[in-house]
Amino acid sequence: MEHQDLLAGFIRLHILHHAAESDLYGQWMIEELGRHGYKLSAGTLYPMLHAMEQRGYLTSRLERAGRSQRRVYRATPLGCEALAMARERMRELFHEVLPGPTG
């Protein structure tokens, strides 16, 4: 992914946003991010999910999906708190970075 180091924070926030709304799993998240122009491989996404879980932002459980199992993620209270803080910071940043109606 081009500019991966710069966009990684946006991807993590996108993950946290969806994990705060409902359960998610890796392949769904790859497809969701793809709809927003991010091209992530499983080798990029899964370590990111694992790291977010280790930091306490996500929790996971195994869930049966047909004959196999998949790991399902959900935001923790800490993750929801971090998301709320990040939303405030994003509002401030976007107000500063994005041009207003006068260009």
Q: How many domains does the chain have?
A: 1
Q: What strand order describes the sheet that includes 58-65?
A: 24-25, 68-75, 58-65
Look up the pTM and report it.
0.86
Distance between CA atoms of residues 69 and 91, nearest Å: 38
Question: Is 102 inside a domain boundary?
Answer: no
pLDDT band of residue 14 (cuts 50, 70, 90) is very high
pLDDT band of residue 1 (cuts 50, 70, 90) is low
Domain encompassing residue 10: 4-97
Question: Is 17 inside a domain boundary?
Answer: yes
Question: Is 63 inside a domain boundary?
Answer: yes
Question: Is 8 inside a domain boundary?
Answer: yes
pLDDT in tens, 30-74: 999 999 999 999 999 999 999 999 999 999 999 998 899 999 999
Q: Would you tell me how many other CB atoms lie within 10 Å of the CB of residue 52?
A: 22
Question: Is 58 inside a domain boundary?
Answer: yes
Q: Which residues contact 6 (CB under 8 A, 6 or more apart)?
A: none
Quick one: pLDDT at residue 102? 58
Output the average pLDDT for the chain: 92
Question: Is 66 inside a domain boundary?
Answer: yes
- Find out whether 29 and 18 touch, Cβ atoms under 8 Å: yes
- Find out whether 55 and 42 touch, Cβ atoms under 8 Å: no
Question: Is 30 inside a domain boundary?
Answer: yes
Least Cα distance to 84 among 49, 57, 50, 55 occurs for 57
Residue 89: which CATH number?
Answer: 1.10.10.10
Query: Does pLDDT of 94 surpass 80?
Result: yes
HSE-up of residue 18 (Cα within 13 Å, Cβ side): 18
Question: Is 103 inside a domain boundary?
Answer: no
